[in-house]
Structure 1
Amino acid sequence: MRAAKFISVAAVLTVAAATGCSDDGGERATASASVPVGLGSFYKQKPSWKDCGDGFECTTVQVPLDYTKPSGEKVGISVIRLPAEDESDRVGSLFTNPGGPGGSGTDFVRQAARTFGNDLRSKFDIVGFDPRGVAKSDPVRCNTGAQLDDFFATDSSPDDQKETDTLAAKGKQFANNCKTKATTELPHVGTVNAARDMDVLRAALGDQKLTYYGASYGTYLGAFYAEQFPKNVRALVLDGAVDPRQSSTDMLIEQAKGFETALRAFAGDCVKAGFCRFGNSVDAVLATVSSFLAKTDRTPLKNTQDSRMVTESLATMGIARALYVKEYWPVLRQALTQAIQNADGTMLLTLADEMVERKSDGTYSSQTDANMAINCVDKPNPPDLKTYGRSATEAQKAAPRFGPFVVWGGLPCVYWPVQNEQQPKPITAKGAAPIVVIGTIRDPATPYKWSQSLADQLSSGVLLTFDGDGHTAYLQGDDCITDAADKYLITADPPKDGTTCR
């Protein structure tokens, strides 16, 4: 969720058709919730919707850059919606966020809106937005494509002081680039402000209370919304939760352990399928992957799509990308076979590029820069390289294949020009309506224990468990999860706490 090298990518990467529900009901929305003092002009604005193709409508909603200075500079939040199919039976807007931070909510809705259940699409406008600093909403842009290529290729499992110093230099460069190119935005791109923006959007789109689906980092955003505006919660589904109590480095360590769990599940699947090229037991497969990564650290792989060499860091990123979605496991088997047998990293590099939204022309979306900018200001960071290195050492012991890569990927935050001194604390959202948290037991990017923790912290939290693989559960085709979530979103009636879908 935090490190730029291991962004929690959008929940819908491989999307199965979602199943709708036949339940009717819910609370019809009108914009009558209280308006914070001094923000009336923002809350009462009337968006001008325009057709933007394929049945979608787009607009821009204005919010203050700095909520303490609402008359100052403004940020335009890009919004898209697929209007409800039955206007006469419309309940309101279903706001969505796909994760990241840094994932484009407008792109998500264009890709995924029609995979939501039929009854949801009948009763709700499916709404996506790019949070401040992301994609079409005044994006944070710090690095060139060449600079990001260099950053991602840098060895982030340093074996000696020289490699550590090189990594530190890249982290400083990243931070300095953002200080130079995004000075005005950096203090204001954090999740607290994004949650306040979401309340402005709720009111501007005419909803009395918020109905919301958030995946991965989107759960963090949703939880912060509920904490700040508990009375404005109608129904929130938080899928693949992030634990707000975790420190910045503890979060990275736990995420690395999640990738190890997912790799073990991948190995088990390979062995179970038979003719596994990497070993005849789970431990043998893991040993093969470890040996391959160590060899790639010494001798990077070639690739056939451009002049880049596939370093150990890029190879690890490619493996991680495939672990997000179980449907990618056959692709990962092919990619590893190509890399191990032919020293050809083309498929792994393609996966890595997809993860960080690198385009074929060598340019990147704003995802990486925005991800780092938001994460670095959301929580306190270690004060220096030495302290940070201790966390990386701990991570390597806990997660030998992914620990160093995940933790060192967040190193630019040590040198970030804007620091947050407020320590993480539980989010309770006292007074909020029931909030459903979905946790996937073998989720690589947001470990299941985080969903358990968030559901426990929330005063009205309800835990819904998916005993499965991959990152997040909703929209991945499991009828049990989809039916329970859809019924709740439509009626605001949650499933029984502790329900497990298998």
Structure 2
Amino acid sequence: MTHWTRRALLFTLSAAAAAATLTAAVTPVAHGSPAGRAAPPLAPPSSLMSPGTSPPSFTSPAMSPPSLMSSSPLVWRPCEQPAGAPVPAGGQECAVLRVPLDYGDPGGRTVEVAVARLRTDRPDARRGTLFVIPGGPGSSGVQRLAQKGEALRAATEGAYDLVSLDPRGVGSSVRAGCGIPAADRHLVTLRSWPAPDGSTAANTERSRRTAELCARNGGPVLRSFTTENEVRDLDRLRGALGERKVSLWGSSYGSYVGAVYAQRHPDRVDRLVLDSTGDPDPGRVAYGWLANMAPGAAERFPDFAAWAADPAREAEGLRLARRPGDVQPLFLALARQLDRHPRASDVPSAPLTGNLLRQALQNALYSDAAFPRLARLVKEAQDPRGRPVLPPELAGPLPDEDASMTVAAVCNDVRWPGPASGYARRVAADRARHPLTAGMPVNITPCAFWTYDEEPRPTRMTDEGPSNILMIQSLRDPSTPLAGALKMRAALGERARMVTVGQGGHGMYLGSGNACGDRVVSDFLVTGARPARDTHCPN
């Protein structure tokens, strides 16, 4: 598993991040950059537009689509692959889009955003362009297109050119680092897991240290990692493509980005799919999303418990208990034991602690496909002679730029409660109410100490706009639970319809295996038809 996967799991708002396996990553070289420019494993393409095509021309600026005249043309080329990696059969192309670092100063410094495209294989059926918006914050849109592009192109019957970008701070897009020490860049330290006794003192000091480093070293690039700028960059991309309207499929945090885009530019959206959506309350946004993970994990855990107690696990050596109701007490007791006596793991510098086990659980709840690995880790930790094998995303620190981006993206968007606002009290209450997450979702983060150039103003979702939105949502989502998604549904009113899916997990469209849910979304993207009212697809 790559460092990108670890990064995207930090705030568990990305369905792609939870995947247990990843496809080969594209590693393009940016137009105008040195030929040997190194790109991270999930790096995106360079900035170039397909041979033989040219930007659309218009007789006057008045005839131009919004933002088109201010957007530089894209030059597309086949995405370069890592040495020895097969070239994707679909022919994914890569480009670089230049955007203003600060949209308040459009004539000032520009930065690069990496873009990828998978063109329709049925030109006669082409309806337009569909933006694939990744989750995170911190997930790669270029990589998501490589993962999902072929399935999405088939599901939508070639109706779209599929396009995605790596948000600022991700992949081969513009990057910035805070200089966070390696010990603070592990997933289990970037997440604010309280000490075994519930103390938050170490979390507070680490959060203060990280915020101060980002304020000192991140600069204007790090401060530009916001939802608003991702929305602006998407609209700049729409203009560069010559499209008056685009359709969008946003997953997890990407669904919030898509909703903000539709709120800002309702006349530029054809069809919008919001997949696994968080509470849009503008006063809480990222803070509320993290807090909602506690009830989300509690709602999802019974799926793992039923799986782990199933007699079918016996032959696999993964059965944890005879009854589903016994799995949670077993897990909690093991975590407490590891709090007191961490176990040496296969990584000499990273013993298996109680919090590391709890973090492994959080990651595994995203997808049923991750259940076997979690059960195996529990079995290994129970064996006095065993040496637990850590999941790759928990085995070492993230690169500084990845850790810095993830922190900045959630802190820049909304002002979080300050350090004196009662975090220790909230942690104590949440630990008692939701022992699986042990108070982490409501604990202090660097955002409590964050500094701002100007006060953030998150977008308020409303029911004003066309009725062209379809939501798809799991009933048991560990990251964006149904209660939060219902608040987005209520805010959008008649603009939206929702289809709930009986499958537990995070990221439903083309990810859950629920044929009914996939069919409803695909039909909407192809024909525009939505259910007459909110509906449910059983598992």
**Does residue 432 of structure 1 match 2:466?**
yes
SS of residue in 2 equivalent to 1:315 = helix
1:116 to 139, 144, 152: 152
Larger RCO: 1 or 2 (CA < 8 Å, sep 6+)? 1
Shift of 1:202: 1.3
How many angstroms apart in 2 are the aligned matches of 1:33 and 1:413?
44
The residue aligned with 1:232 is 268
**Does residue 187 of structure 1 match 2:223?**
yes
- 1:84-483 equivalent positions in 2, closer than 5 A: 84-118=120-154, 120=156, 122-143=158-179, 146-149=182-185, 152-153=188-189, 156-158=193-195, 163-245=199-281, 247=284, 248-273=286-311, 275=314, 277-342=319-384, 346-350=388-392, 352-353=394-395, 364=399, 366-408=401-443, 411-418=445-452, 421=455, 426-428=460-462, 430-459=464-493, 460-476=495-511, 477-483=513-519
Shift of 1:150: 5.4
SS of residue in 2 equivalent to 1:103 = coil
How many angstroms apart in 2 are the aligned matches of 1:138 and 1:463?
35
CA contact (8 A) 1:395 1:403 kept: yes
- AA aligned to 2:366 is Y
What do the CA deviations read for 1:211-238 (whole angstroms, capped 9, x no partner)? 1111100111011101100111111111
**Does residue 48 of structure 1 match 2:96?**
no
- AA aligned to 1:451 is A
SS of residue in 2 equivalent to 1:214 = strand
Shift of 1:109: 1.1
Pick closer, same or farther for the CA change 1:58–1:33 going to 2, 3 Å.
Answer: farther
- 1:22-41 equivalent positions in 2, closer than 5 A: 41=69
Shift of 1:323: 0.9
Q: Structure 1: which 5+ runs fail to align?
A: 17-28
Shift of 1:346: 3.8
Shift of 1:6: 3.4
Structure 1 stretch displaced more, 135-144 or 201-210 = 135-144
How many angstroms apart in 2 are the aligned matches of 1:250 and 1:144?
25
Shift of 1:98: 2.4
How many angstroms apart in 2 are the aligned matches of 1:121 and 1:144?
46
How many angstroms apart in 1 are the aligned matches of 2:289 and 2:321?
31
CA contact (8 A) 2:185 2:403 kept: no
Length, aligned pairs only: 477
Shift of 1:495: 2.8
How many angstroms apart in 2 are the aligned matches of 1:471 and 1:446?
8
Structure 1 stretch displaced more, 390-399 or 95-104 = 390-399
CA contact (8 A) 1:135 1:365 kept: no
- TM-score, normalised with respect to structure 2: 0.81
The residue aligned with 2:14 is 9
How many angstroms apart in 1 are the aligned matches of 2:64 and 2:497?
27
- AA aligned to 2:340 is R
How many angstroms apart in 2 are the aligned matches of 1:425 and 1:130?
22
How many angstroms apart in 2 are the aligned matches of 1:500 and 1:366?
41
The residue aligned with 1:24 is none
- AA aligned to 1:301 is R
- AA aligned to 2:517 is I
Higher normalized helix content (fraction of residues):
1
How many angstroms apart in 1 are the aligned matches of 2:507 and 2:519?
15
Pick closer, same or farther for the CA change 1:311–1:140 going to 2, 3 Å.
Answer: farther
Structure 1 stretch displaced more, 280-289 or 246-255 = 246-255
Shift of 1:368: 3.2
Pick closer, same or farther for the CA change 1:343–1:430 going to 2, 3 Å.
Answer: farther
The residue aligned with 1:59 is 95
- AA aligned to 2:273 is V
Shift of 1:282: 3.2
Shift of 1:465: 0.8
What do the CA deviations read for 1:44-92 (whole angstroms, capped 9, x no partner)? x210111115311111112212111111121211100111112233222
Q: Structure 2: which 5+ runs fail to align?
A: 1-6, 23-55, 81-86
SS of residue in 1 equivalent to 2:106 = coil
The residue aligned with 2:83 is none
How many angstroms apart in 2 are the aligned matches of 1:425 and 1:86?
37
How many angstroms apart in 1 are the aligned matches of 2:153 and 2:131?
15
SS of residue in 1 equivalent to 2:277 = coil
CA contact (8 A) 1:388 1:411 kept: no
- AA aligned to 1:228 is R
Overall identity of the aligned pairs, in %: 28
SS of residue in 2 equivalent to 1:442 = coil
What do the CA deviations read for 1:268-300 (whole angstroms, capped 9, x no partner)? 222244657433333321111111111111122
- AA aligned to 2:11 is F
- TM-score, normalised with respect to structure 1: 0.86
How many angstroms apart in 1 are the aligned matches of 2:381 and 2:21?
27
CA contact (8 A) 1:226 1:432 kept: no
